[in-house]
Structure 1
Amino acid sequence: MSVKCAIGLMSGTSMDGIDLALLDTDGDMVVRRGPAFFVPYEAAFRRRIESALDTAKGIEHREQRPGDLGDLEREITLRHADAVARFRAEHPRWAGRVELVGFHGQTVLHRPKKSLTVQLGDGPLLARETGLAVVFDLRANDMRHGGQGAPLVPAYHTALAHALVDAGASQFPICFVNVGGISNITWVPARGDPVAFDSGPGNALIDQWVAGQGGIPFDADGMIASEGGVVASVVARYLENPFFARKGPKSLDRGDFTLEPAEGLELADGARTLANVSAEAILKAAEQMPELPKCWIICGGGRKNPHIVADLRRGADAMGSAVALAEDVGLDGDAMEAEAWAYLAVRSLAGLPVTFPTTTGCHRPVTGGVIVSPPRGQSSSALPHDFV
């Protein structure tokens, strides 16, 4: 497979906006990272997506769009097209090189036990709006082959791990930790397929807590938590959840963990306790790794919460492992998932596996994604849409 220039688009479980990243890659071991870009969602639109999570609970077939989900899907897609247009305008030297887009969409329902996952995002519409080939719906084929449909980033983590070891920046085995709304880990050995699974709640419970108790969308830099303390009994209740005893591969929906165990805590104590829950859930994942990692590399928005990171460092140190933020080893912890979607788009185009039995539980390594091209002769949109 030749090297292609791809844009990855990710709107994750934190629902805070669109991450965009550019990559030159062959979908295998060639990875040259380009610029990244973030377009935040305004508070009203974020609330609209949060409301959609309740609407989506009634979906029984992944093509269904009850209520206003059809309209929301169109607007989400247009916002992604707008992000691509703005990125290309700000990075003109890259604009003409882009060949395709990896489009995640917005997950509103994930029920792996029912082989059901729903991401709002219209691939053909995005292709028409951007004038670029689009690879989307990357989770469904994995589920058709017995997988959980998540996590999908491990293939990219594997390429990054080999690059880090080749550069002398780390040693195998390496564990990548993505602390998003839900946290997931990828354990990468020197040889063989990666091992990956969702590890537990990440930022989602903290965000829900401070929004409900303090009317604040998230705990910026852990400032609220810095005024509180860890309530160990609440942490213990969370860690008693049967999810943690289940063997991987395993994945979570945003609603699988709730705030019920934290009810009655003060605002700051709740924020600090939930940060500890996130860290302890990640550390507990070591029980299901073939070997303790030499290094945990922390990515995603949760790496900006100093309490999560400090708790991880303490726990990892007790195991004899090191903890590094993505930036400590020359990576971009904000852009990594968007980069992964660019990587997976090229990998899909090449027909290479995007999931493995050790990452999602699929019966065999499988590729995935639907590839659509823009109408013949169409040029990409030059102007962004107007969102208020």
Structure 2
Amino acid sequence: MAQMKTAIGLMSGTSMDGIDIALVRTDGRDRVERGPFMGVAYEPAFRNRLKLALDEARTLTDRMERPGDLGAVERNLTLRHAVAVNDFLALNGLSPADIDVIGFHGQTVLHRPNEALTVQLGDGALLARLTGIAVVHDMRANDMTFGGQGAPLIPVYHAALARSAKQMAPLVFVNIGGISNLTFIGTDGDIVAYDSGPGNTLIDQWVESHTGGAFDEDGAIANAGRIIPGLADRYLDHSFFSSNQRRSLDRNDFSPPADAEAALADGARTLAYVTAAAILKSSRHLPERPRAYVICGGGRLNPVIMDDLRKLAAQEDATVIVAEEAGLDGDAMEAEAWAYLAVRSLEGLPLTLPGTTGVTKPVTGGVFNAALTPVID
């Protein structure tokens, strides 16, 4: 039996709203013991720097380059993650010696799978030096080396959770983050996964451009609006949904509406519907019709998205539940996954499979950074 390891996972997703931190004990296979979770929000000024970093990264052709402000942003981001880890340890009565490894996602600023190019800001060596804990980072690149899309990476963790939670297949885990992705687990245990369309990112961009707020809290703005059919169709008729080739998405693949196309509430309502409908439309590429959808990520907290999703799934005789109804934590899951993936990386186990990213064969990944005596930098 493989030895259990204690890992911390760090996730800063496409919504760029902060750092999620979760602790997991796992053998990197079927045994998963979920621990505490904490979220640390970015202040508006740093979120704005990250948005500018997205623009600077558009011209990159070498994933190791850090022109302009990208190098400074990467260092600042890494320092923030180090502080978050140290606070997390202190709050939970832990020391660096209690942790075997950190799984460090970093911040994606460019993702072009057709060019085999993905860039995540985050200095794994610096994080290891500041925390005194071994770090595995840059877990997407090796998948692309072997012909994969570099995303999604969470499916192997979803499969482990499904086994441990004894959920009935066929089912789908759906993570509604900035981009939505789904993991299908078939009756024979096969795993199929891919990005399913825009998640919260369009709504967030729309609301922020009109109100200055970071997101539509509790779906209040969308709830006051109406769906604009033509606008919804424009998104759902995108070739991404009809193509037989599933691919991963960059947050810039879909853009929010022009101001002339919708009032604030109607735009938010339409984009909420698009988020839900995109999931069901993408699920038509699956090998079996799902019996249930388990919803994770921030989108599950938007009641307008969830109501649309339940109604659309009911038309296909499927049920929709949030992660908590399955005994899981929908906020912590991505960070937990990065902890789990770090342990798999240490064990040389596959992080991605042909059915999840299109990689030519199951491959491991990640860059290992040895633990050093922590220093103040």
TM-score normalised by length of structure 2 = 0.97
Partner of 1:121: 122
- Whether 2:228 is the aligned partner of 1:231: answer yes
Paired amino acid for 1:20 = I
Partner of 2:266: 269
Asked whether the equivalents of residues 249 and 358 of structure 1 are also in contact (C-alpha less than 8 Å), the reply is: no
Asked whether the equivalents of residues 96 and 132 of structure 2 are also in contact (C-alpha less than 8 Å), the reply is: no
Written as runs of structure 1 = structure 2, the 5 A alignment for 1:177-326 is 177-260=174-257, 263-326=260-323
Post-superposition Cα deviations, 1:15-70, rounded to whole Å, max 9, x if no partner, equal 00000000000000000000001100001110110111110001001001111000
Q: 2:364 aligns with which of 362, 367, 372?
A: 367
**Residue 256 of structure 1: SS of its match in structure 2?**
coil
Structure 2 CA distance for aligned equivalents of residues 347 and 274 of structure 1: 37
- Whether 2:24 is the aligned partner of 1:13: answer no
Asked whether the equivalents of residues 196 and 248 of structure 1 are also in contact (C-alpha less than 8 Å), the reply is: no
Paired amino acid for 2:201 = A
Post-superposition Cα deviations, 1:331-362, rounded to whole Å, max 9, x if no partner, equal 00000000000000000110110001111000
**Residue 199 of structure 1: SS of its match in structure 2?**
strand
Change in 2 beyond 3 A, CA 1:263/1:292: farther
Written as runs of structure 1 = structure 2, the 5 A alignment for 1:57-68 is 57-68=58-69
Structure 1 CA distance for aligned equivalents of residues 6 and 324 of structure 2: 23
1:249 Cα deviation (Å)? Answer: 3.5
Unaligned ranges ≥5, structure 2: none
Partner of 1:163: 164
Partner of 1:142: 143
Post-superposition Cα deviations, 1:170-198, rounded to whole Å, max 9, x if no partner, equal 31011000000000000012434310000
Partner of 2:343: 346
1:93 Cα deviation (Å)? Answer: 4.6
Asked whether the equivalents of residues 193 and 356 of structure 1 are also in contact (C-alpha less than 8 Å), the reply is: no
**Residue 224 of structure 1: SS of its match in structure 2?**
helix
Q: Answer with 23-32 or 224-233: which moved more.
A: 224-233
Post-superposition Cα deviations, 1:227-263, rounded to whole Å, max 9, x if no partner, equal 1111111111101111111234410000000124674
**Residue 288 of structure 1: SS of its match in structure 2?**
coil
Structure 1 CA distance for aligned equivalents of residues 332 and 165 of structure 2: 17
**Residue 356 of structure 2: SS of its match in structure 1?**
coil
- Whether 2:34 is the aligned partner of 1:37: answer no
Partner of 2:155: 154
Partner of 1:329: 326
Q: CA RMSD in A?
A: 1.3
TM-score normalised by length of structure 1 = 0.95
**Residue 252 of structure 2: SS of its match in structure 1?**
helix
Paired amino acid for 2:151 = A
Structure 1 CA distance for aligned equivalents of residues 255 and 337 of structure 2: 29
Structure 2 CA distance for aligned equivalents of residues 110 and 246 of structure 1: 19
**Residue 223 of structure 1: SS of its match in structure 2?**
helix
Structure 2 CA distance for aligned equivalents of residues 156 and 263 of structure 1: 42
Asked whether the equivalents of residues 325 and 333 of structure 1 are also in contact (C-alpha less than 8 Å), the reply is: yes
Structure 1 CA distance for aligned equivalents of residues 232 and 223 of structure 2: 17
Structure 2 CA distance for aligned equivalents of residues 311 and 72 of structure 1: 38
**Residue 226 of structure 2: SS of its match in structure 1?**
coil
Asked whether the equivalents of residues 276 and 311 of structure 1 are also in contact (C-alpha less than 8 Å), the reply is: yes
Q: 1:356 aligns with which of 346, 353, 358?
A: 353
